[in-house]
Amino acid sequence: MENNRTELEFEKSRLEQTIALAKEQLDQARERNVENKSAIISAKKELRENTSHSIANLWSSEGFEALAALNQYANPITDKIADYEAVENKILLLEKMIQSPYFARIDFKFEDEDIFENIYIGRTSLKKDETNEFFIYDWRSPIASVFYRFVLGQVFYDAPGGRITGEVNLKRQYEISEGELEYYFDADVQIVDEFLRKLLSQNTSPKMKTIVETIQREQDIVIRDMENDLMMVQGVAGSGKTSIALHRAAYLMYQGLSSKLAADNILIISPNSLFEQYISNVLPELGEEHVVSVVFEDIIASVVKNEQVQSRNQFLENLISNTQYRDIIKSSMEFKTSRQFLEILDRFLDDLPHKWMNFEDICYDGECIISGEMIKDKVLSGINETPLGIRLKLIGEYILELISESKKTRLRKSEKILMNEEMLKFMELDLKDVYRKLFHDKEYFYSLAKDIELPGCMDQILTFTQENLDTNMLYYDDATVLTYLNLKIYGINKYKAIKQVVIDEAQDYYPLHFEIFHLLFSKAKFTILGDINQTLEKREDLSLYKQIRKIFNKKKSSLVTMDKSFRCTNEILNYGLRFLEQSTEIKSFNRKGDEPEIYTANDQISYHNMIVSEVKSCLKMGYQSIGLICKTEKKALFLYESLKDKADVQLIKSESITDLQGVFIIPVYMSKGLEFDAVLICDADAETYYSQDDKKLLYIACTRALHRLNLFCMGEASPLLNK
């Protein structure tokens, strides 16, 4: 008892000291930014006073001096602004730190020393400048890995200088809020599990949360991996893949301090904007504000310009809806993103300058400057070193030089543009037009596809694509192919700086997508996370990861499997398992809840009443996020129209961006990656869910629920619900 009291006193006093130090540094940082601010204002004034004339004259004969003068005044401002921003960032971190400086402590003794040191671990580090003493270690620091990976006893961790061994005789966890120590406990496996179970049984928040306090050993191994150029994770629903992806990005940033990795060197690729919004809090909470995140459509838009492209959500809506086009859309996507079609595309690319370009003689003032045959030779001679589009540009410039020479004077800019538009037009490639030709000339298509295995419905795919390409919209599958062709023909510089790419929900990409990632980020390292059981309208097995490995062809790669789900209760997880064809080993965190129930109604009114009554019960139970999942957007819209006057519900459509707090109606493909306290699968009838692919949708829908899951249907329940 006495001992406990002194321990508590010790912890309280340690917390006070830590907060006092953080406050001192906060005051200093604030002071510094007051100074920075006034320095920026006066430097700006000086710039205005001394350079206003020069800016106006920038393009005149004294332009260069004006520019130099401008630089002389502008550079100090830029430096001050950068410093101001860095200090602002520090202020934010310190403000958070004062509220809750650390969450864990380990007492660690280095192998060759006698004394155990108290290592406090928090979201960011705190060091006393005068003594260099660490009051808090960042959770990403090498020594902090001991907390995540070991219980008590002999331990080790890998530091930049090599492996360090030692001993741990205490592991303690804290709950500190608003600067007050709420409680602490000394951790052994059982207590830690209990702590985590309690944490997981809380209600979800509108945005994804960090998990720094409870990262599991196997998760930590992936987060900190620096050995592999390609790290792949196959993890069951709710096993923490997205959490790992984000914590890994934060870890890479921390590591980047020594390897000069900046925020714009990391790219996170998310499945859609809603998901992007859902995860947008995690990195800032971990102190990393600026990591860039994109969705695949952003990539398409940056490569295929000036086209109206069908969104992925629109594509999925068509793919999943039970319309006459469902099969052909699916076959077309599968084929166009397959290795077989890739081979055809590569043959087509080789063929472009032979078959699809007419090289004409270039004549100027009655004189033949260069023959078409010669241009063609030049194009073909360097085709392996430089992409075709770039080569054509270079040769175009060379021809303009030849014309200048024959004219014996330099061509003016306007003349060059005119010649490009008139004489060299045949050297331009309109890729969409060329791609259209591939599908319009069936005989040619089949000649290219010689010896390649084609799907039985190849003819239908050709006709379907022809028709689509004749519309104003570029369909998602064709836009993906055109992105590939564009990259092969022109290359791209935009993503040259990217050194680390993190791809979540990898199971939804096809081989062609991975080829595109490979072309875009040829020098980058990849972290790829997915679940072969959560595909949309496609079958996957572990060979997905083999394919990825083959496409990226990295020196060192690894595949880690995660089979423990942190999200759902036992009952929900077990219910979801019935939809998996392959027997998958999934462990739950042994959290208990109610068994999911199926409710059927014979008419619309009682069907809607049942749903409204369940929503009310969920709200009464205190659940803050409730997801009403429908198969498609069309069905979601219909349900919304029927319920909106009976309950406070919101509809999530293709491009909705919102906080997930409240009651939502959402199509299943948009619910991927998200989670809700309670889920109602609203259209679990036999007409809606019937195929093998639909089973995966049901699996995805069920595993969105943390605490409560129920299924509703009008008419006959889907036979897929039977075990």
Ligand X SMILES: Nc1ncnc2c1ncn2[C@@H]1O[C@H](COP(=O)(O)OP(=O)(O)OP(=O)(O)O)[C@@H](O)[C@H]1O
Q: Which is nearer to ligand X, 12 or 592 (CB)?
A: 592
Q: Which is nearer to ligand X, 285 or 693 (CB)?
A: 285
- Tell me whether residue 52 is annotated as binding: no
What DSSP state is assigned to residue 720?
G
Q: Work out whether strand 230-235 and strand 557-562 pair parallel, antiparallel, or are unpaired.
A: parallel
The gap between the terminal CA atoms of the chain, to the nearest Å, is: 54
Q: Which is nearer to ligand X, 239 or 270 (CB)?
A: 239
Q: Which is nearer to ligand X, 237 or 643 (CB)?
A: 237
Distance between CA atoms of residues 144 and 154, nearest Å: 15
Place of tokens 């036999």: 686
Distance between CA atoms of residues 259 and 487, nearest Å: 29
Distance between CA atoms of residues 339 and 395, nearest Å: 32
Q: Which is nearer to ligand X, 166 or 673 (CB)?
A: 673
CB of 641 to ligand X, least distance (A): 29
- Tell me whether residue 302 is annotated as binding: no
CB of 702 to ligand X, least distance (A): 10
201 Cβ neighbours under 8 A, 6+ residues apart: 591, 707
Q: Which is nearer to ligand X, 320 or 700 (CB)?
A: 700
Q: Which is nearer to ligand X, 270 or 465 (CB)?
A: 270
Q: Which is nearer to ligand X, 239 or 710 (CB)?
A: 239
CB of 211 to ligand X, least distance (A): 4
- Tell me whether residue 146 is annotated as binding: no
What angle is formed at CA 84 by the lines to CA 81 and CA 86, rounded to 5 degrees? 110
- Tell me whether residue 235 is annotated as binding: yes
Place of tokens 């175009």: 396
Distance between CA atoms of residues 181 and 636, nearest Å: 46
CB of 530 to ligand X, least distance (A): 8
Q: Which is nearer to ligand X, 265 or 588 (CB)?
A: 588
Which letter, b or e, does each residue of 136-153 get, where b requires 16 or more Cβ atoms within 10 Å of its Cβ? bbbbbbbbbbbbbbbeee
Q: Look at residue 355 and give its three-state secondary structure.
A: helix
CB of 92 to ligand X, least distance (A): 23
Place of tokens 């191994």: 221
Cβ pair 126, 135 in contact under 8 A = yes
Q: Give strand ranges (E) for 178-220.
A: 180-186
CB of 537 to ligand X, least distance (A): 17
What's phi and psi for 202, nearest 5 deg? Answer: -75, 165
- Tell me whether residue 239 is annotated as binding: yes
Distance between CA atoms of residues 559 and 156, nearest Å: 24
CB of 549 to ligand X, least distance (A): 21
CB of 229 to ligand X, least distance (A): 23
Distance between CA atoms of residues 315 and 338, nearest Å: 18
What angle is formed at CA 235 by the lines to CA 232 and CA 238, rounded to 5 degrees? 135
Alpha helices, DSSP H only, in 100-151? Answer: 145-149
633 Cβ neighbours under 8 A, 6+ residues apart: 313, 317, 653, 654, 667, 670
Q: Which is nearer to ligand X, 465 or 534 (CB)?
A: 534
Q: Which is nearer to ligand X, 80 or 695 (CB)?
A: 695
Number of Cβ within 10 Å of residue 719's Cβ equals: 9
CB of 578 to ligand X, least distance (A): 17
- Tell me whether residue 44 is annotated as binding: no
- Tell me whether residue 238 is annotated as binding: yes
Structure tokens at 409: 């004077």
Q: Which is nearer to ligand X, 586 or 665 (CB)?
A: 586
What's phi and psi for 352, nearest 5 deg? Answer: -50, -55
Q: Which is nearer to ligand X, 391 or 707 (CB)?
A: 707
Which letter, b or e, does each residue of 425-442 get, where b requires 16 or more Cβ atoms within 10 Å of its Cβ? eebebebbebbbebbeee
Give residue 112's Cα distance to chain centre: 44
Q: Which is nearer to ligand X, 242 or 483 (CB)?
A: 242
Give just the sign of the alpha carbon dihedral 273, 275, 280, 286: negative
Crossing angle of helices 604-620 and 633-643, rounded to 10°: 80
CB of 703 to ligand X, least distance (A): 5
Distance between CA atoms of residues 118 and 61, nearest Å: 67
Residues in the chain: 723
Which letter, b or e, does each residue of 272-290 get, where b requires 16 or more Cβ atoms within 10 Å of its Cβ? bbbbbbbbebbbebbbbee
Give residue 12's Cα distance to chain centre: 41
CB of 44 to ligand X, least distance (A): 45
Cβ pair 505, 530 in contact under 8 A = yes
Residue nearest to ligand X (CB): 240
Q: Work out whether strand 676-681 and strand 625-630 pair parallel, antiparallel, or are unpaired.
A: parallel
Distance between CA atoms of residues 117 and 106, nearest Å: 8
- Tell me whether residue 668 is annotated as binding: no
Structure tokens at 15: 């917390």
- Residues that bind ligand X in the complex, under the rule CB under 6 A: 196, 199-200, 209, 211, 214-216, 219, 235, 237-243, 531, 534, 566-567, 673, 675, 703
Torsion of CA 503, 288, 566, 213, to 10 degrees: 150
CB of 232 to ligand X, least distance (A): 14
Beta bridge partners of 598: 711
CB of 104 to ligand X, least distance (A): 13
CB of 60 to ligand X, least distance (A): 59
Annotated binding residues for ATP: 235-242
Annotated binding residues: 235-242
